[in-house]
Amino acid sequence: MTEEVKSPQHELASIMELILTKEKSLLHLKKQLIDLKSEMSNLKQRTQSDEVIANLELSQQKYQALATEISATQASLIKAKGRIAKLRAGIIDDITDISGVDSLQSWPTSMFSALPILLFPVRLETRYKTVESNPELWIRIYPDEIAIHTHEIPLTEEEYDDGVQYVRQLWFAGRFNELDSAEIKETKEARKKGAWSELVNKHGSERAEWIVWTFLNNPDENQRYATNFSPPTVMTPVNEYGEPINEILNPPIFKSKTDIEFKAEPWCEPARSFIMPDVFCVRLYRNSDLVFQKPGNLIEHPLHFGPTPDPDSVDDEILFFDDQSKWVIDFEEAVNKGMAVKVTEDDIENLEEGFSRVIVIGLKLTTDWDMNKQYLEQLFENHRYTNGLGFAKQGTPTNNVAGIEESAYSRGDDPDMSWERLNSDNLASENAESAGFRLAQTLGLSPSIFDNTENALIVEDLPARHMIEALWSITLGYYMEYMLDKEYNFYEGEDFNDEKLKKGLKEHFKHFVRGRGPHSALRVGDNTYGILPISSLRSWNNHELDQD
């Protein structure tokens, strides 16, 4: 990508970070305003002594200052979002000009064919409508659960208190002492598991894992909520009577509540997606022929799927959907937001004859590769700490069946299982054959992104590769050696008797051909997603293959 495009992409990323920060600040300010209004109401009901009057005047001054700050924050948000819209439109124009592509509808098929593209699933709804006696085809686009971000980083005060209690119990249990008996070690481990079970029972395994991460595992030590965390040192001096005394040292130090900005409520941020494409393009086919394609409007970034919790809102009509998320239930709003497309008779003749296939595809090019990588890693972390992230083993039932404990669509929350998984020293990032490492490598993500997630350590591709190696000489290898026409030109101008070509075919089959796909299925919540690398056979060039 040229500097002509990179510069506005970097500015776009900076403004997006600013907007997210300001939106969180706005919610916090509004909550303060509500609390202050309640405080003023209580003061007005009290006997009007000099002290009460002074406190009331002070509260009124704070109220005015907060209201002014809220107005300024809202104005800056509007300005920043306007700048983002202009930047994205400009980036799209620049990319279109640089690539020589005539319009947005050609993006998915004409641009950057040499670069890998990650496509997420979407659900389509189509309806024929009659508008002023004219037929129209309405197409709605709904992203799947995997694309939606709901993780909220701040803790509530209750979560903080529970985290403190967990760390204290964990610290008190301490590490195993070499001199401890097996019974004492078992007791210590039981205390640790008990503390974890208590946390899981209150918040679920996923949120409990996030609470523990905040206190103990944040790589930035200055941001951890628990510091000086080390096992208790047990000393056994004797008192004046010669009796042993246990002294426990090194207690953990917790970050003060006054230094932490807590969430006011368990739900404080809207469900949204940061990985939506810039534009969806609708492609309509009759038989196998593409007869029409049309791009939608520019999609908002991030795209909201639910309302932003607003402590100042009392309007029941926007309880579930506000202006940013109304597209979910309103078709015209969906068109405006780029999540729906209308096809009319002005677009294509014989509209009512129907279509054999409807395909919707889109790319995200207004953010650079580094930002897209960050969004993808944040998305997987979001699922890890909300509805769960992991892998489904081969042979996992796809339906709930009597007599089968677990299917791909049922996942119990077992504290013992999550404890063992989260405290395992075996990491997917340290095993190049594990499902977690291989998927992270394929997607260009940090190798540790799937560490300690469910089934991330399973190894399924290596046995398949070994089986192909073992069976090659008595299956395809035998067929090519003894049954295939010796003069068969596999590639134009190349004799099939060429040993180098045979070896290349064997290596290709061993490394790339899998009846069940090259990757284990990804599991998000109760849904499983297959990972299927594909290439365009129509534009494939055999002569560019590496023959080594």
Tens digits of per-residue pLDDT, 425-435? 889 999 999 99
545 pLDDT higher than 70: no
Q: Report the alpha-carbon distance of residue 270 to residue 318 in Å, rounded.
A: 13
Task: Report residue 494 as tokens.
Answer: 């190349």
Question: Where in the sequence is the domain holding 176, given as residue range(s)?
Answer: 157-259
Q: What is the Rg, in whole angstroms, of the alpha carbon atoms belonging to the chain?
A: 30
Tokens 């078709």 belong to residue: 331
Which of 213, 240, 259 lies at the terminal end of a domain, its last residue? 259
Boundary of a domain, candidates 207, 239, 259: 259
97 against 31, higher pLDDT: 31
Q: Does the pLDDT value for residue 183 go beyond 70?
A: yes
Question: Does position 467 have pLDDT exceeding 80, yes or no?
Answer: yes
Question: What is the model's pLDDT at position 314?
Answer: 45
- Indicate whether 87 and 207 sit together in one domain: no
What pLDDT does residue 318 have? 47
Contact 387, 527 (CB under 8 A): no
Q: Both 341 and 255 in a single domain?
A: no
pLDDT higher than threshold 50 for residue 317: no
Geometric angle at alpha carbon 502, from 499 and 508, rounded to 5°: 140
Q: Which two tokens stand for residue 58?
A: 């002070």
Amino acid 73: pLDDT: 77
> Could you give the CA distance from residue 386 to residue 97 in angstroms, rounded to a whole number?
41
Do the beta carbons of residue 278 and residue 92 sit within 8 Å?
yes
List, for residues 370-413, the tens digit of each pLDDT value. Answer: 888 999 999 999 999 999 999 998 888 877 666 665 665 556 68
- Which pLDDT score is estimated for 61? 79
Comparing 13-17, 79-83, 95-99, 273-277, the range with the smallest average pLDDT is 95-99
252 and 284: one domain? Answer: no
Give the residue from 370, 386, 402 where a domain finishes: 386
- Interacting residues of 49 by C-beta distance below 8 A, sequence separation 6+: none
Greater confidence (171 vs 202) lies with 202
In 302-440, where do the E strands start and end? 303-304, 340-344, 357-363, 389-392
Q: What is the CATH number of the domain that holds 61?
A: 1.10.287
Predicted local distance difference test score (pLDDT) of residue 410: 58
pLDDT the model gives residue 307: 81
Q: Structurally, how many domains does the chain consist of?
A: 4
* Inside any domain, residue 36: yes
pLDDT of residue 336: 93
Burial class (CB in 10 A: 0-12, 13-18, 19+), 225: buried
| Cβ-based neighbours of 465, under 8 Å, separated by 6 or more | 510, 511
CA dihedral defined by 519, 521, 524, 529, rounded to 10 degrees? Answer: 100
For residue 243, what pLDDT is reported?
56
Question: Residues 508, 540: one domain?
Answer: yes
CB 124 within 8 A of CB 340: no
Classify residue 145: in a domain, yes or no.
yes
| 394 plus 427 within the same structural domain | yes
Residues 295 and 147 in one domain: yes
Residue 105 lies in a domain: no
The contacts of residue 250 (CB under 8 Å, 6+ apart) are 228, 230, 231, 232, 233
Q: Considering the domain boundaries, does residue 443 fall inside one? A: yes
518 or 7, which is more confident = 518
Q: What is the pLDDT of residues 486-515, one digit of tens each?
A: 555 555 555 555 677 778 888 888 888 888
Answer yes or no: do 194 and 245 share one domain. Answer: yes
Give a yes or no: residue 109 inside a domain: no
Instruction: Categorize the per-residue pLDDT at 419 as very low, low, confident or very high, splitting at 50, 70 and 90.
Output: very high
Mean pLDDT of 525-544: 78
Q: Is residue 399 part of a domain?
A: yes
pLDDT (average), residues 511-527: 88
Q: What is the mean pLDDT of residues 88-110?
A: 59
Share of the chain above pLDDT 90, in %: 33
Q: How far apart are CA 196 and CA 458, in angstroms?
A: 25
Are 432 and 529 members of one domain? yes
Between 452 and 542, the more confident residue is 452
Q: Measured on CA atoms in the order 251, 252, 258, 264, is the torsion positive or negative? A: negative
Q: Give residue 38's pLDDT.
A: 72
Least confident piece of the model among 99-113, 371-385, 456-470:
99-113
- For residues 287 and 369, state if they share a domain: yes
Place of tokens 């209690």: 165
Taking 90 as the threshold, does the pLDDT of residue 164 lie above it?
yes
For the segment 190-195, the average pLDDT, to the nearest whole number, is 90
- Same structural domain, 344 and 431: no
Whether 475 maps to a domain, the answer reads yes
Tell whether the model's pLDDT for residue 548 goes beyond 50: no
Residue located via tokens 């003061």: 43
The DSSP element (H or E) to which 88 belongs, if any, is helix 50-99
d(CA 318, CA 21): 23
pLDDT above 50 (res 207): yes
Do 326 and 416 fall into the same domain? Answer: no
When mean pLDDT is compared across 51-60, 137-146, 186-195, the lowest value belongs to 51-60
CA distances to 87, 125, 454, 527 from 390, in Å: 36, 29, 4, 10
Which single residue is written with the structure tokens 């659960």?
Answer: 145
Could you tell me if residue 127 is inside a domain? yes
Q: 45 or 420: which carries more pLDDT confidence?
A: 420
Query: What per-residue confidence (pLDDT) applies to 230?
Result: 64
Are residues 141 and 280 both part of a single domain? yes
The backbone torsions φ and ψ at residue 113, rounded to the nearest 5 degrees and listed phi first, read -65, -20
